């Protein structure tokens, strides 16, 4: 069983000699998958076909227990506050709490940090939503991104790398604008901790759309609307069912189901491989992802 984790084709298009490197990488990946895998699992539908006769889409990743514990603690705090009828909302996660927004990830243009800066500026100019966005992570484009944000007059301090779990009780809204991911681990971690997550409508985020605190946007206007909603509402406490869905236990169950090859499939593949007339066509991909 093979699991495709990373969209190397996208990264190859940004490298020197991309017109050779990108199609070549795609071709080699397809060869390897067909030669060594009986079943190919893609973490999301953002990946192009590599071995269509063997592949399916399933998220077989989970998050570590620390993030689920943070979410469970927040659920207890939010539900106990509402059940007692207290009028004072949570200072971080309450509907009237001061805005606490952040991004965490590799500081690369390909991770969407340029898009994030533009979206935050659009929210400020179009709707008067002037918010501070804490930027966590390191990478080669950090200084350029920091300079761009400062030039546009945005409050976006860059703090460097940090363990995501340490932000469990400090921020309510996570923004991840990346379109280069296969499946974003930090989004799963943020949802597990009970945060609002604002992200683009994209195949890499399809799995997360089932969670009530996931707020996908298709354009700038929807981004502004989702950001405003997140800032003015309290997140839905993570249910036990949703929490379990993000666990490694549930991911292992999905992996066992996705990795199974039926007798009919196995017999059909064996018959195809034994034939002297069978052939497999592999189309070289375009450079655009």
pLDDT digits (tens, 9 = 90+) for 106-126: 999 989 999 999 999 999 999
75, pLDDT greater than 90: yes
More confident residue, 287 or 110: 110
Q: Are 234 and 95 in contact (CB under 8 A)?
A: yes
Long-range contacts of 27-36 (CB under 8 A, 24+ apart): 27/282, 27/284, 30/282, 31/282, 33/2, 33/4, 34/280, 36/2
DSSP state of 101: E
pLDDT, tens only, 130-144: 999 999 999 999 999
In this prediction, residues 52-73 reach a mean pLDDT of 92
* pLDDT given at position 110: 85
Whether the CB-CB separation of 7 and 181 falls below 8 Å is answered with yes
Q: What is the pLDDT of residue 285?
A: 52
* pLDDT: which is higher, 27 or 242: 242
pLDDT at 104: 97
pLDDT by residue (tens digit) across 177-189? Answer: 998 888 999 999 9
Average pLDDT, the chain: 88
Question: Does the pLDDT of residue 8 top 80, yes or no?
Answer: no
Confidence (pTM): 0.85
């Amino acid at each position: 069983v093979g699991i495709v984790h990373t969209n190397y084709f996208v990264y190859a298009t940004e490298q020197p000699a991309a017109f050779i490197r990108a199609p070549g990488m795609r071709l080699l990946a397809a060869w390897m998958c067909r030669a060594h895998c009986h079943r190919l699992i893609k973490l999301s539908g953002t990946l192009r076909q590599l071995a269509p006769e063997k592949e399916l889409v399933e998220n077989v990743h989970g998050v570590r227990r620390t993030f689920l514990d943070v979410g469970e603690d927040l659920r207890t705090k939010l539900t106990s506050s509402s059940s007692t009828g207290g009028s004072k909302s949570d200072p971080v996660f309450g509907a009237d709490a001061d805005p606490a927004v952040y991004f965490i990830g590799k500081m690369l243009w390909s991770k969407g940090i340029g898009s994030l800066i533009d979206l935050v500026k659009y929210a400020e100019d179009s709707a008067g939503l002037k918010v501070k966005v804490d930027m966590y992570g390191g990478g080669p484009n950090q200084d350029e991104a920091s300079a761009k944000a400062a030039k546009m007059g945005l409050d976006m301090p860059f703090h460097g790398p940090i363990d995501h779990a340490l932000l469990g009780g400090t921020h309510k809204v996570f923004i991840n604008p990346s379109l280069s991911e296969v499946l974003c681990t930090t989004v799963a971690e943020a949802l597990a901790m009970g945060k609002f997550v604002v992200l683009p409508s994209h195949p890499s985020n399809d799995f997360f759309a089932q969670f009530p605190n996931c707020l996908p946007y298709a354009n700038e206007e929807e981004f502004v609307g989702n950001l405003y909603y997140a800032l003015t509402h309290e997140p839905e406490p993570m249910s036990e069912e949703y929490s379990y869905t993000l666990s490694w236990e549930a991911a292992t169950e999905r992996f066992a189901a996705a990795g199974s090859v039926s007798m009919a499939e196995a017999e059909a593949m064996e018959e195809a491989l034994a034939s002297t007339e069978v052939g497999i066509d592999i189309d070289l991909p375009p450079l655009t992802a």
